[in-house]
Structure formats: C-alpha cells, structure tokens
Amino acid sequence: MTHATVFSIVPTPVGPLTLVGEGEALVGLYFDNAAVSASPPSEWTRDDRRLRPAAQQLAEYFAGLRTTFDLPLAPRGTAFRRAVWDELLRIPYGETTTYGALARKLGKPAAQRAVGGANHHNPISIIIPCHRVIGADGSLTGYGGLVSRKRVLLDLEARGAPTRSRDGRTPRLDGAAQLVLPEPP
C-alpha cells in the first residue's frame, strides 16, 4: 500500500527544516540546503497538522527539553545503510562516536568509509543523529547539513539533558519558547 507524501517546513535555530511523512511515519528531515527543501516535488502535499508531533518534538529538542524522539521512522535505504542508521539511534544524547567505532559495532571494521557514506545519506537528520559522528582525531568532519550546524547541535547537547522539577516532572515549553506552526487551511 502506498501512502501520499506530505511535508511541512518548520523554523528552527539551525534554519528551516523540511519534514516529510508517509502514512504515520516520518521518512525525511532535511536542512534548507537540500534540493528537496528548496523545491518539494509537486506530488507532495503540505500538511502541517499531520507532521505536528515531529515539529513539536523538534521544538522541545531545541529548547533543551527533549533528549530522545518518540516518532515512527521509515528511512529508505539499503540494508547496510539502515544498519548504520540503527546504530546512530543508539548513540546517547550528548555523546559522540567515530566512523571507525560504528564500523566495528557493525562487525565491519574496514568499512569506515562506507559508514561515512551511509551517514551522509541519512534521510532523517537530527532525529537519526548523524551529527554525533566525528573524525577519529575528534574533528568535526563533513556534515550534509553544514559543519557549522553540526557544531550547534553538538553544543546544544553538550549543555546537558533537561532537569526535572521538584515534583519530578520534566519541564514543558512555555508559550514564549513553543514553536508556532501555521494553521492548516
């Protein structure tokens, strides 16, 4: 069964992000320098309401209130790329790893470049945290969303996980920090 492809464009501290969904799943999250962001295919339909949960979770992430995402994801790629993306999802918030370490976890220690290629083709940036992969020497190696954005994301996460209030609840976004999405027509 095929599902109609929907998209939404949301403002963030790293520039506008294009969210892409099919059915109930998020299939893409692209920075504004991606071709699909500049000109979404004509067969896609803008549907801010359907992608609101993803937009809200991203707003919480950028506000420092969310360290993990709870969204159905359906990235498209080869079996190897999907295996790499699964490993990316295991990198804890605020931590980094290297291409070589990922290759070893996959049981393919010589596949560092292939891991880098899979990382580069990650269709759901930020949520599948490819920004948490750095060079063996600790350098911020290439990033499809621009290295300057990678630095912003890593700095955000370095500030730490959200703290809990005295009653044990995680703080919520206040009205001033909440992402305001356009109302669907």
Same domain, 44 and 106: no
Same domain, 85 and 51: no
Same domain, 110 and 50: no
Beta-strand ranges (E) seen in the chain are: 5-10, 17-22, 25-31, 45-46, 97-98, 133-134
Determine the pLDDT at residue 1.
52
Contacting residues for 1 by C-beta, under 8 A, at least 6 apart: none
- Answer whether residue 32 is part of any domain: yes
The enclosing domain of 30 has a CATH number of 3.30.160.70
Same domain, 50 and 89: no
- Answer whether residue 148 is part of any domain: yes
- Answer whether residue 112 is part of any domain: yes
Look over the chain and give the mean of its residue pLDDT values, rounded to a whole number: 84
What long-range pairs does 132-138 form, CB within 8 A, spacing at least 24?
Answer: 132/88, 132/91, 132/95, 132/96, 132/97, 132/157, 133/88, 133/91, 133/96, 133/97, 133/98, 133/99, 133/102, 134/96, 134/97, 134/98, 135/98, 135/99, 136/98, 136/99, 136/100
Determine the pLDDT at residue 40.
86
- Answer whether residue 147 is part of any domain: yes
Rounded CA separation 160/67 (Å):
9
Same domain, 95 and 128: yes
- Answer whether residue 166 is part of any domain: no
Quote the crossing angle between the two packed helices 79-88 and 112-120, to the nearest 10°.
80
pTM exceeds 0.85: no
Same domain, 83 and 58: no
Q: Is residue 130 annotated as a catalytic residue, yes or no?
A: yes
Same domain, 40 and 105: no
Rounded CA separation 62/70 (Å):
15
Rounded CA separation 146/81 (Å):
21
Instruction: List the chain residues with pLDDT less than 50.
Output: 163-185
- Answer whether residue 100 is part of any domain: yes
Same domain, 54 and 95: no
Q: Which domain holds residue 110?
A: 79-158
- pLDDT tens digits, 82-105: 999 999 999 999 999 999 999 999
- pLDDT tens digits, 165-185: 444 444 433 333 333 344 444
- Residue among 111, 130, 133, 153 flagged as catalytic: 130
- Answer whether residue 182 is part of any domain: no
Same domain, 55 and 91: no
Same domain, 84 and 146: yes
Which among 13, 28, 62 is the end of a domain? 62
- Answer whether residue 101 is part of any domain: yes
